Chains A and B, each alone.
Chain A
Amino acid sequence: MENKAIVCKDLTKQFGDFKAVDKISFEVSEGEIFGFLGANGAGKTTAMRILCGLSYPTSGEAKVAGFDVYKEQEKIKKNIGYMSQKFSLYDNLTILENIEFYGGVYGVSRPEIKERSAELVKTLGLEKEAKKLVGGLPLGWKQKLAFSVAVFHRPKIVFLDEPTGGVDPITRRQFWDMIYEASANGITVFVTTHYMDEAEYCNRISIMVDGRVEAIDSPTALKERFNVASMDEVFYELARNAKRTSD
């Protein structure tokens, strides 16, 4: 894993006097599952918006999928997928129509959409529901479908912003099976979460406190460093000194 999917160096975003993101530096390898943790208001969302090509940093450097966040936002957007905590499919469209729409927006050709949506529906075991409105599906299925749609156009990196909010533990487990599957096939996963059990599933995690990355390592190494039994405690050790409280 020599190639880096994401490279950040001293990345800073300042709003007036307020440093939302304060000189963060990290690297994410291709195919890695990278957990991006931090309390509310720590600056996760701001950092993620820059990496997704939605806003410009104030200073520092960053490359996503090899493209510069200042000059090549359009190329970044073509090479990433994105799924947010807010449910992101249209309720009054069917599963197939949702796939067709997002596939179309990303420029996937019609025959390919047809072929891949058939595969996708089969993989998820949703053959019977394919022509039904998404609104009627259970939340767990919606989340899985939203993830599949986010990676439908074969992005190099997928950004997941608290993807499993409000989902039961079993569905969450299944959701993570899908993430592993995608990662095993070479897609890089950049995920934010508040669930510490999910943090354990990541290859490596970073923890942001007050706009800075305070720790970055594998979950096992972090637990050893702080000499604690769970990620919960690691997070608490780091985040309790935070001065900011909310977004």
Chain B
Amino acid sequence: MKFFMNWHEMPKERLTNMKKLLAFIRKEFYHVFRDKRTLLILFGLPVVQIILFGFALSNEVKNIGIAIQDNSRDIHTENIIRKIQSSSYFKVEAPILNYKDIENRFKDGSIKCAVIFPSNFSSDLQRSGGAKTQLIADASDPNTATIVTNYLTSIVYDYQQQLNPTTQLNYQIVTEIRQLYNEEQNGSLNFIPGVIALIFMIVSTALTSVSVVREKELGTMEILLVSPFKPIMVLIAKAIPYLVLSLINFILILFLSVYLLHVEIKGSFLLLFAESILFIITCLSLGLLISNVTDSQQTAMLISMMGMMLPTLILTGFMFPLENMPWIFRMVSHILPSRYYYTIVKAVMLKGLGFEFVWKETLILAGMAIFLLAIALKKFKIRLS
């Protein structure tokens, strides 16, 4: 058996630490690319999220079903109805028969709003100069109800202006609205920064912690600790592949956002990239910290998902406005790294702001990264002795 011979012949050459690290990193990539579940989370999830948030979960109102009961049947109501029909916001369904009918159709969801013109609509308008029309909205979804009634009101108002083009009130205040940074009211704009933060949380925090804990479960961590490979190097070797993968993901998300959802990156790409690296490092430290305090992959996954992802989803302000939350939630949101990253990405990507506007958030994020990394390293050492 030649393998066991020449035992005391010392190895010719020793590898440098750098090469040892590379051997380790290569192994990590083998793990990632051979595990279908990891691959799916890594590259399937961002695509699904972008598509979901970009297309399915939209705040915009389009093709909302409404029904009309026209008891007046004159030129005015017909004109208004034609205006409503020609709007892309609404889909006018069959006319309403009676009040009970409205309720039934709200219940089965076929319409969201009912428009009722009373029989004296036209005569009132002509005689007294003031007519009434009723809008009944299904407010079980308050957002939609508000938007629909607003649209309908403005259509009616519009027609009124048309009727009296010459009538000038003594005083007139016109609100001229511009939706800055998102003139087209593109709903995906708001989601993209949130989705990026979410994806980093999943890839950098959850996958990293699971990959470290897996070595503990397998017993390979023991072997690594007995080897001359330094514990800190183990952490670095674990972190680098996920840093690279997260950045690839970042590019992928930006690519999808620009070409699929037509979101424009207004600010500096380099600044965005640098801020993302900072946030990824924060997430990685968090992942390493989680892996130090748990011993099973399930626990690590659960902590990352419940403890990190859910707050990111709810408390960073990308799904629900932070300003409306009770103070306790607003306080909690201040300790979430993703909140600051979300603010930065929004500022740089959507508003095109430079570093001078986000330095405060950057500083907080950097502080968190250093703090978390320090604890992760310290915990790792304690576990050793």
CB within 8 A of B223: which of A53, A56, A82, A109?
A82
Task: List CB contacts (< 8 Å) of A109-145 with chain B.
Answer: 109-110, 112, 116, 119-120, 122-123, 133
- CB neighbours (8 Å) of A88 from chain B are 218-220, 222-223
| A74 in contact with B228 (CB, 8 Å) | yes
Q: Is A78 an interface residue (CB 8 A)?
A: yes
| B226 in contact with A107 (CB, 8 Å) | no
Candidate in A83, A116, A154, A187 with the most chain B CB atoms within 10 angstroms: A154
- CB neighbours (8 Å) of B229 from chain A are 105-106
Q: Is B11 an interface residue (CB 8 A)?
A: yes
CB within 8 A of A154: which of B11, B19, B27, B224?
B11
CB within 8 A of B228: which of A90, A101, A107, A119?
A107
Contact digits for B1-24, partner A, Cβ 8 Å, 1 yes 0 no: 111110111111111000110111
| A92 in contact with B31 (CB, 8 Å) | yes
CB within 8 A of A109: which of B9, B15, B220?
B15
| A56 in contact with B385 (CB, 8 Å) | yes
Task: List CB contacts (< 8 Å) of A52-109 with chain B.
Answer: 52-56, 74, 77-78, 80, 82-84, 86-90, 92-93, 97, 100-109
| B218 in contact with A54 (CB, 8 Å) | no
Contact digits for A153-196, partner B, Cβ 8 Å, 1 yes 0 no: 11000010000000000000000001001101111000000000
- CB neighbours (8 Å) of B31 from chain A are 90, 92-93
- CB neighbours (8 Å) of A105 from chain B are 20, 23-24, 224, 227-229
| A101 in contact with B227 (CB, 8 Å) | no
- CB neighbours (8 Å) of A102 from chain B are 223, 227
CB nearest neighbor in B for A53: B226
Q: How many residues of A contact B (CB 8 A)?
A: 50
Q: Is A148 an interface residue (CB 8 A)?
A: yes
Contact digits for B223-250, partner A, Cβ 8 Å, 1 yes 0 no: 1111111000000000000000000000
14 contacts between A and B (CB under 8 A): A82-B222, A88-B219, A88-B223, A90-B31, A92-B35, A101-B26, A107-B14, A112-B11, A112-B13, A120-B3, A123-B1, A153-B11, A185-B4, A185-B5
Interface residues, chain B, with chain A CB atoms under 8 Å away? 1-5, 7-15, 19-20, 22-24, 26-27, 30-31, 34-35, 218-220, 222-229, 384-385
Q: Add 17 more A-B contacts to A154-B8, A159-B226, A182-B4 (CB < 8 A).
A: A56-B385, A74-B228, A84-B223, A87-B218, A88-B219, A88-B220, A92-B31, A93-B31, A103-B23, A104-B24, A105-B20, A105-B228, A106-B227, A106-B228, A109-B13, A119-B2, A186-B7
